[in-house]
Amino acid sequence: MDNVLTDLKTENNFAFGKLYRDNYGKISRFVQNNSGNQADAEDLFQEAMMVLVEKLRQDNFQLTASIDTYVYAICKNLWFKKLRNTNFQLSIDDMQSLEFQDAINDSIEAEKTYSEKLKGYLLKITDHCNRLIHDMFFKEKAIEQIQKDYGYSTRHNAQNQKHKCVEQIRKVKEKEDILKKNSSLG
C-alpha cells in the first residue's frame, strides 16, 4: 500500500493505471446505475484522480481507508454533487475548499468497511490490546493459543483480557460517535 501511495504522490502513471484497472469498472457501474453513462463515468474518474492528487499533496494527508475505498468515496461524493447541481464544475478552488474536503472525508468515512474502521480504533487503544485483538480477530488465533503466547495462567484470564481490550475499543468508538454527533450539531 505504501508503494502505491508513494507512486501516486510522484504521479507515477503505473500507479494510476493500477487504480484505474482496480476501480474503474465499479465506478462505471455506479454511475450508470445512478442516471449516468460511460462518458460521465470517464469524466468522473478523471476528476476523482485530480482530487486524489490534490489530497496527496497535502502535508498532513493520511490514508484512513484502503485506496480503493478512498477512490470510490471520492467518486460517489462527486457524482451525487453533480446530480444535485447540473451546472457543477470541479475547479482547483473547489478541491481546496474546506467544505469540499469535509464532504469527501464524510464520504470516505461512510464507505469504510467494518475492518477498516476496526483498524482505526486499534490505533487508539493500548499496544498490548492492539496486538491481542489483532491476533484474535485478524490472525484468528484460538483463546488457548492467546493464553500460551501472552503467558496468561488460565483460559479465563485470557478471556478476561480479551473482554477488557474489546471494552477499550467500545469506549473509543463511543467517544468518536459523540464527537461526530456534536460536530454535526455545531
* pLDDT digits 0-9 by tens, 61-100: 777 778 888 888 889 888 888 887 766 555 555 555 556 6
**C-beta of residue 155 within 8 angstroms of C-beta of residue 143:** yes
Summarize pLDDT for 34-53 with one digit per residue, the tens.
Answer: 888 999 899 989 888 888 88
Q: Between 143-150 and 155-185, two packed helices, what is the crossing angle to 10 degrees?
A: 100
Q: What is the mean pLDDT of the chain?
A: 80
pLDDT at 54 over 90: no
Distance, in Å, from the CA atom of 99 to the CA atom of 103, rounded to the nearest integer, reads 6
Dihedral angle, C-alpha 47, 50, 111, 168, nearest 10 °? -170
Between 4 and 166, the more confident residue is 166
Between 186 and 34, the more confident residue is 34
Helical spans, DSSP H, in 125-154: 127-133, 143-150
pLDDT of residue 82: 82
Taking CB atoms within 8 Å and a gap of at least 24, the contacts of 56-64 are 56/5, 56/8, 56/9, 57/9, 63/1, 63/5, 64/108, 64/109, 64/112, 64/116, 64/120
Distance, in Å, from the CA atom of 114 to the CA atom of 121, rounded to the nearest integer, reads 11
Lookup: cell for 114: 467494518
pLDDT of residue 99: 63
Distance, in Å, from the CA atom of 94 to the CA atom of 89, rounded to the nearest integer, reads 9
Closest CA to 125 of 159, 158, 173, 160: 173
Lookup: cell for 182: 456534536
